[in-house]
Amino acid sequence: MQFATLAVHAGQGPDPAFGAVMQPIYQTSTFAFRAVGEPGPFDYSRTGNPTRHALEECLAALEGGVRGLAFATGMAAEATALALLQAGDHIIVHDDLYGGTYRLLTSIMANKGIEPEFVNLRDLKALEAAFRPNTRMVWTETPTNPLMNLLDLEAIAELASSRSVLTVCDNTFLSPYYQSPLALGIDIVMHSTTKYINGHSDVVGGALVTRDAALGEQFYFLQNAMGTCAAPHDCFLVLRGIKTLPLRMEAHNANALAIAHWLEAHPSVSAVHHPGLDSHPQRELARRQMRGFGGTFSFRLKGGDAAVQRFLNAVKLFALAESLGGVESLIEQPWTMTHASMPEDVRVKAGITADLVRISVGIEHVDDLMADLDRALKA
């Protein structure tokens, strides 16, 4: 079946109890046994819940995997995936990634004897040189936040799998609608469903999807043992959001691409980082690996920090806020907001400087969005 059909139906049929067409919210902690020694299909909601199960099946179908798991947050999904590792294991991590992942690896996992090594994975030679006998996992994120750098997932998966090393891709920025890491050879897809998958800025959630049944079973064990699962009501909201994922992604993509082209020609703008532009250094990889570009990208203002502050205080339709992927447009300065917790030298080295602005373009009418940006750029 096609993606848009799976988005509406996968994992969900009419409810067996009353024929409800929409997945009911099984807001219960526990389920009655039929008799001693005879549980029903579910017994306790940490272990399994029908609403969560429907979402998990849907996520697996959309990513083309065999098993999906839904978590309380994106970070809970990451912590569960990283629980596969043991003391003494080495993990190679792309050096340009979500700040929360960096924090989890450096301030928690590293204290448990797991050794993260940050490598620029755009350089495949650097990846090859980084493998060690105790390397268990390679962690990727593409496009990266906020500079929209791309990683060649197929090439990375090949180098890792030939050494029996697991690969993870954080697919939050594009959603399964625009990028399918499992089909490129990646073992595990991770999502913050908080972003595009739910898409309405009213839930925090996470997901893992794998194409290996045994690995899926291990994640299921860990989800239950660690208690990192998503709550039934949140699963209902994410399922509801997913039904319009294809429509929303098309709208985000079209709006963001139009705004990126327009900004590139704007006299106040010094650079635009968007993989759909001909000026993007990895334009060819973007065409090969992605079916679209999503709604989030970044650009730089001439006039640096002062110009950015003037601009951000003048926008009206764009909310000055962290996060991304919702129907409403958001804007922020990574330097003082999303990336402020990264050490200053690391930010500067990565190109995350005070002149940089990140926008999450919503699904409003593009003319209104451009008018708001234009007025604020002239403020």
Ligand X SMILES: *Cc1c(COP(=O)(O)O)cnc(C)c1O
Could you say which of 46, 103, 136, 291 is catalytic?
A: 46
Instruction: Identify which of 68, 62, 65, 64 has the alpha carbon closest to the alpha carbon of residue 4.
Output: 62
Cα separation, 327 vs 319, whole angstroms:
12
Stretch that binds ligand X, among 23-31, 98-106, 247-255, 343-351 (CB under 6 A): 98-106
Active site includes 195?
A: yes
Q: Catalytic site residue 243? A: no
> CB of residue 235 vs ligand X: minimum separation in angstroms?
14
Q: Which residue is nearest to ligand X (CB)?
A: 74
Residues 269, 377: Cα–Cα separation, whole Å: 9
DSSP notation for 203-233: ---EEEEES-HHHHHHHHHHHHHHT-BPPHH
Residue pair 54/12 in contact (Cβ under 8 Å)? The answer is: yes
Count of residues binding ligand X (CB under 6 A)? Answer: 15
Q: Does 67 bind ligand X (CB under 6 A)?
A: no
Dist CA 117 CA 306 (whole Å)? 35
Catalytic, 46? Answer yes
Q: How far is the CB of 91 from ligand X (least distance, A)?
A: 16
171 scored as a contact of ligand X (CB under 6 A): no
Q: Are strands 115-119 and 330-332 parallel, antiparallel or unpaired?
A: unpaired
Q: Which of 52, 67, 195, 211 is catalytic?
A: 195
Per CB under 6 A, the list member of 10, 54, 69, 75 interacting with ligand X is: 75
Min dist CB 205 to ligand X, Å, is 6
On the 0-12 / 13-18 / 19+ scale of CB atoms within 10 A, 321 is middle
CA distance 253 to 241: 17
Q: For 193, phi and psi rounded to 5 degrees? A: -70, -10
Chain residues 191-210 in contact with ligand X, contact rule CB under 6 A: 192, 194-195, 204, 206
**Choice from 24, 48, 100, 185 touching ligand X (CB under 6 A):** 100
Q: Considering only the stretches 67-75, 112-120, 176-184, 361-369, report the one whose residues sit in contact with ligand X under the rule CB under 6 A.
A: 67-75
Least distance (Å) between residue 98 CB and ligand X: 4
Q: Which amino acid is at 359?
A: I
Residues 107-146 vs ligand X: string with x where CB under 6 A? ----------------------------------x---x-
Strand-pair category, 115-119 with 135-141: unpaired
98 lies in the site for ligand X, by CB under 6 A = yes
Catalytically active residues are 46, 98, 170, 195
Chain residues in the site for ligand X (CB under 6 A) = 73-75, 98, 100-101, 141, 145, 170, 172, 192, 194-195, 204, 206
